[in-house]
Structure 1
Amino acid sequence: MKMSRVATLQFAAFHVLVVLLSVGADYIPPSRVDGFVYENGSLDLLDTILIEAFYDPVCPDSRDSWPPLKQALHHYGSRVSLLLHLLPLPYHDNAFVTSRALHIVNSLNSSATFPLLEWFFSHQEKFYGAQTRNLSRASIIEEIVKSAAKVVGRSYYNAIKKGFNDTKSDYQTRVSFKYAALRGVYGTPFFYVNGFLLPDAGGSVDYKAWRKFIDPLVGDKKSAHHEESLHFLS
């Protein structure tokens, strides 16, 4: 990631923070926690190791980091949960509208959220760079609606299209950006494990690295549960 891009997003994040602090008592948090829970993950912080990932649907680095993270999640099963946050980067073409599509689909059928994210990862060239330079925003949204309907089900076409005319999905996507800014996230992918920033933020983490980070935590959690059981029995 070029420093000019980092500086741009850091400035935006600082501006968001200033605005939120300036509104004081008038600021109202969103009605639900930001992010999408992967498959059967749990947000019970006492019973699971929580990974928080910040992704941009049209970010190549986000795309490349997803397969090893997904492999790790399947390896650990219910012991590890993923909460995915979206950060539509201002220098990635159509990052906001693709993120908005994910919010819309999640509200219609949450089981289709990650399949749609993977579809965006596999077809980034359709929405990123020179491919869309001469296309109107309306035509890009229409293509996204058609594509999302193919993933979710063609019967959802009208509902997805309606979602882009609803201010709710726009608000949810803005909340995602603001949440990332408040967490100090300035690029994608960024990863937190149990609330702590993973080293080398902004780059891909391979499967071996995930195992290196998570294995000791899984062992510590097992030990803690064992000690609790012995204490109960005594």
Structure 2
Amino acid sequence: MKMSRVATLQFAAFQVLVVLLSVGSDYIPPSRFDGFVYENGSLNLLDTILIEAFYDPVCPDSRDSWPPLKQALRHYGSRVSLLLHLLPLPYHDNAFVTSRALHIVNTLNASATFPLLEWFFSHQEKFYGAQTRNLSRAFVIEEIVKSATKVVGRSYYNAIKNGFNDTKSDYQTRISFKYAASRGVYGTPFFYVNGFLLSDTGASIDYKAWRKIIDPLVGAKKGVNRNEESPHLYL
């Protein structure tokens, strides 16, 4: 995300919000909450610190922010959960189709969702920039299907390919975009911790910064749990 685009993207997000609000009672929420849960994370908000990350599979800043976040998640284990949301940015080539591929794979084999995301991060040059300028959408989708098959397994080729012919994955990806807009997200990466936007959001959050953010929360949560378990000690 380049700062020069912030004002434009804010306006675009505002327009999406206007559309969502204008449909009123005709708007039906999706059947499930948006996002992918990382590994064995828990969404029980009473038992975990929840990080929500908004990523674009072909965004270089999203790619660069992932390794330190992943390192932090491994450090804290079950004490911290990650819910990943997708925001396919309109100025990133093939952001929508790569996001759609992630929704398809998540439906088929949820354990392969994050490996596929990491594959996209490692091979962004295949689907982003001048390399794809003269390629048809059909060709790009076929390349994405082949790439996803390498990650998930050859037996999934037809299922992934058929997923691009199914309106369900298109709908899921649109919902992801609309959900991000409804949260005021206008670029990637964006991070929320326990529902609050981080002021230093973006690729600049390294492992030490994550530790600085989360360590006090882990300590505070331990104090709360002690109060709940032995309230008579604190009267």
TM interval, shorter chain, is: over 0.9
**Would you say 1:149 and 2:152 are equivalent positions?**
no
RMSD between aligned alpha carbons? 1.3
Q: Residue 183 of structure 1 corresponds to which residue in structure 2? A: 183
Partners of 2:64 and 2:203 within 8 A in 1: no
1:2–1:207 distance in 2 versus 1, CA, 3 Å? closer
Q: Residue 66 of structure 2 corresponds to which residue in structure 1? A: 66
Q: CA deviation at 1:202?
A: 3.2
**1:179 counterpart letter in structure 2:** Y
1:4–1:211 distance in 2 versus 1, CA, 3 Å? closer
Q: CA deviation at 1:8?
A: 3.0
**1:55 counterpart letter in structure 2:** Y
Query: Within 2, Cα distance between the matches of 1:134 and 1:188?
Result: 26
Q: CA deviation at 1:4?
A: 4.7
Query: Within 2, Cα distance between the matches of 1:231 and 1:221?
Result: 15
Gaps of 5+ in 2: none
TM-score, length of structure 2 as denominator length: 0.97
Partners of 1:189 and 1:204 within 8 A in 2: no
**1:14 counterpart letter in structure 2:** F
1:66–1:2 distance in 2 versus 1, CA, 3 Å? closer
After superposition, give the CA deviation of every residue in 1:142-201 in whole Å (9 maximum; x if it has no partner).
000000001000000000000000000000000000000010001100000000001122
Partners of 1:5 and 1:91 within 8 A in 2: no
Query: Within 1, Cα distance between the matches of 2:217 and 2:89?
Result: 31
**2:45 counterpart letter in structure 1:** L
Q: Residue 77 of structure 2 corresponds to which residue in structure 1? A: 77
**2:99 counterpart letter in structure 1:** S
Q: Secondary structure at the match of 1:21?
A: helix
Query: Within 2, Cα distance between the matches of 1:23 and 1:15?
Result: 13
Q: Secondary structure at the match of 2:53?
A: strand
Query: Within 2, Cα distance between the matches of 1:13 and 1:70?
Result: 28
Q: Residue 168 of structure 1 corresponds to which residue in structure 2? A: 168
Q: How many residues align?
A: 234
**1:35 counterpart letter in structure 2:** G
Q: CA deviation at 1:204?
A: 3.1
Identity over aligned pairs, percent: 88
Partners of 2:48 and 2:78 within 8 A in 1: yes
Query: Within 2, Cα distance between the matches of 1:162 and 1:9?
Result: 32
Q: CA deviation at 1:16?
A: 1.1
Q: CA deviation at 1:50?
A: 0.1
Query: Within 1, Cα distance between the matches of 2:230 and 2:5?
Result: 53
1:232–1:35 distance in 2 versus 1, CA, 3 Å? farther
Q: Residue 222 of structure 1 corresponds to which residue in structure 2? A: 222
Moved more, 11-20 or 67-76: 11-20
Q: Secondary structure at the match of 2:58?
A: coil
**2:72 counterpart letter in structure 1:** A
Query: Within 2, Cα distance between the matches of 1:191 and 1:2?
Result: 16
**Would you say 1:95 and 2:88 are equivalent positions?**
no
Q: Which runs of 4+ in 1 moved over 4 A?
A: none
Query: Within 2, Cα distance between the matches of 1:168 and 1:131?
Result: 29
Q: Residue 6 of structure 1 corresponds to which residue in structure 2? A: 6
Q: Residue 112 of structure 1 corresponds to which residue in structure 2? A: 112
Q: Secondary structure at the match of 1:85?
A: strand
Q: Secondary structure at the match of 1:34?
A: coil
